[in-house]
Structure 1
Amino acid sequence: MALVVLVGGFYLVARLIVHVASPSLDRKAAELARLQAGAERYGWVPGDDVDGKLAAAGARCFDKDGELRRLLVGEYEGRRIQMAEFVTSSGGRLPTDVFNNLVALELPAGLPELRISHDRVADPALPPLEPVLQTSDTESDAFNQRYYAASLDPRYTSAMLHPRMIEWLLAHPPQDLRLVGNLLVAYTAKPWTVPHTLATVPFLHGIVDRIPPFVLKDFRQEAPPR
C-alpha cells in the first residue's frame, strides 16, 4: 500500500511540474520560432556542406563532433556566408541535444588556424597528437582582458591582431571567433536566430576587410586543413 501511495505521489508531482512548465516552454518555443523566421528575406536559402568544411570548423569551435541543421547560405557584400545550428550531444546513457550556432564568412584564401575566445586554450592532459595552439598577449590591455588569442605561430597572431583589427573587435559586443581554413566562424552556445546573424555578418565582414594583404600572401595555405 505504501508503495502505491509513493508511486502515486511521484506521478502527481510529475504532472504538476509538466502543467506548470508547459506554458513557459511553449512561449520559449514560439519566441525562438519567431526569431528563426524570415531568413529568405535576406537571400539566405537552404544549402549543403558539400565539402564538410563548416562541420569540421564547428567541431574545432566546440571541441566535439556535431550535426549541422538548418544550414543556410547567402552572400554579403560579394562574400559567401553560411549559417547553421551545430547540434552536439551531452550526457551519458541518456544524451540530450545541445543546440549551438555557427555563422561563417568565406575568405579569399585559406589561412592558419586562429582562435579568439573568452576561454584560454586548455593544456592537453596527454601528449598531443597534433600541435597545440599557443595563447599570445597583444599590446592592448583592453583586448587581453576581454579575449584570449591563440594560433600555432605567435608571429601570425601578432600580424592578424594589429591595432585597427583590435579596435574593430573591441568596438563590438564580445564574440567567440575561429578562423579555420578559409572560413572565419563566429560560434555561440545558443540556437541560431536571424537577428544574431544580421548583427554578426557585418562584424565578420569588417574583420576580413582588415586582414593585411601581406598576411594573405605570406601565410596563405593552398589546401585548408580538415
Structure 2
Amino acid sequence: MHALDVPTWLDALVGMQMGAAVFIGFVALVGWVFAKLVSPSLDREAAKLARLQAGAERYGWQPGEDIGGRLAAAGARCFEDDGELRRLLVGEYEGRRIEMAEFVTVEGGKLPTTVVNNLVAIELPAGLPELRISHDQVTPPSLPPLEPVLQTSDTESDAFNQRYFAASLDPRYTSAMLHPRMIEWILAHPPQDLRLVGNLLVAYTPKPWTVPHTLATVPLLSGIVDRIPPFVLKDFGVGSVS
C-alpha cells in the first residue's frame, strides 16, 4: 500500500489549527491560575475597603447634594481632569459644613481605566482666591494658557518648602495665608495635598475614600480655616457664603 500523500497546504492548515488550540489552551490555563491566585487577594482588598468605608452615619455624615456643583468643580481643579462624584456625604464639624466624596476619573484611550480618588472639603465663611499646597510642582503649560497660571512661591520655612509647593495667582496672597502659625499647623499633620477653591478648602488624595482618613483630615482642614487671618478674608474675600 502506498502512503496517502497529504497536500502541503492541508498539512500547514492542520499545523496552524493545532498551534492555535495549544495557544488558546495556554491562555485559558494562565487565566485560571491568575484567577486562583489573584481573586482571593482582590476579594480581601475589597472587604478591607468596605470595612474602612463603613460607619459614616455614626459621625453624622449623610448622603447630600453637591451645592452648585462646587465640589465636583473643585475635584476637577485638584486632579486636573473632569470626573464624577460618588458616595457624596455631608456633615458638620465644629459648626462648619463638611463634604466628602470619591472623585472618579477615566484614563486611557482604547483601554480606559477607572481611577478612584477622594475629596474631603470644609466650607469657608467667604470665597477666597485659589491656593494650591501640594507635593507636585505646578507644571508650566506647553501652549499659551487660556487662563492665568498659578505661581509657585517659597515660604519662610525651609521645612515647609522641602515638603510642599505652594502656588496662587498672587505671591502676596500666598505669603499672607502661609504665615508661621499656619505653616506650623500644616507641618504638624501627616502630609496632605490641599487646594482652596472658592469657598471650599479641599484635601485630595489619589485613593478611595475611607472613614479613618476623613477623621484624620477634617481637624486639619478646620485648623487651617481657624488660622486664616481676618485681614485675608477682608482684603481677598469674594463674598460671604449664603
Band of TM-score, shorter chain:
over 0.9
**Unaligned ranges ≥5, structure 2:** 1-17
- Higher Cα Rg: structure 1 or 2? 2
Rounded to whole Å, the distance in 2 between the matches of 1:223 and 1:61 is 23
- Correspondence 1:136 to 2:136: no
Partner of 1:154: 171
Match of 1:117 among 112, 118, 134: 134
Partner of 2:15: none
Partner of 2:98: 81
- State how 1:147-186 maps to structure 2 within 5 Å: 147-186=164-203
CA deviation vs aligned residue, 1:29-63 (integer Å, no higher than 9, x gap): 00000000000000000011130000000000000
**Unaligned ranges ≥5, structure 1:** none
- Correspondence 1:190 to 2:219: no
- Correspondence 1:18 to 2:9: no
Q: Is the CA contact 2:126–2:240 (under 8 Å) kept in the aligned structure 1?
A: no
Moved over 6 A (4+): none
- Percent same amino acid at aligned positions? 79
Q: TM-score, normalised by structure 1?
A: 0.98
Residue-pair matches, total:
224
- Correspondence 1:213 to 2:230: yes
Distance 1:223 1:92, change over 3 A: farther
Partner of 1:5: 22
Deviation of the 1:222 alpha carbon: 2.6
RMSD: 1.0
- State how 1:37-116 maps to structure 2 within 5 Å: 37-116=54-133
Deviation of the 1:7 alpha carbon: 1.1
Rounded to whole Å, the distance in 1 between the matches of 2:139 and 2:220 is 27
Q: Is the CA contact 2:125–2:240 (under 8 Å) kept in the aligned structure 1?
A: no
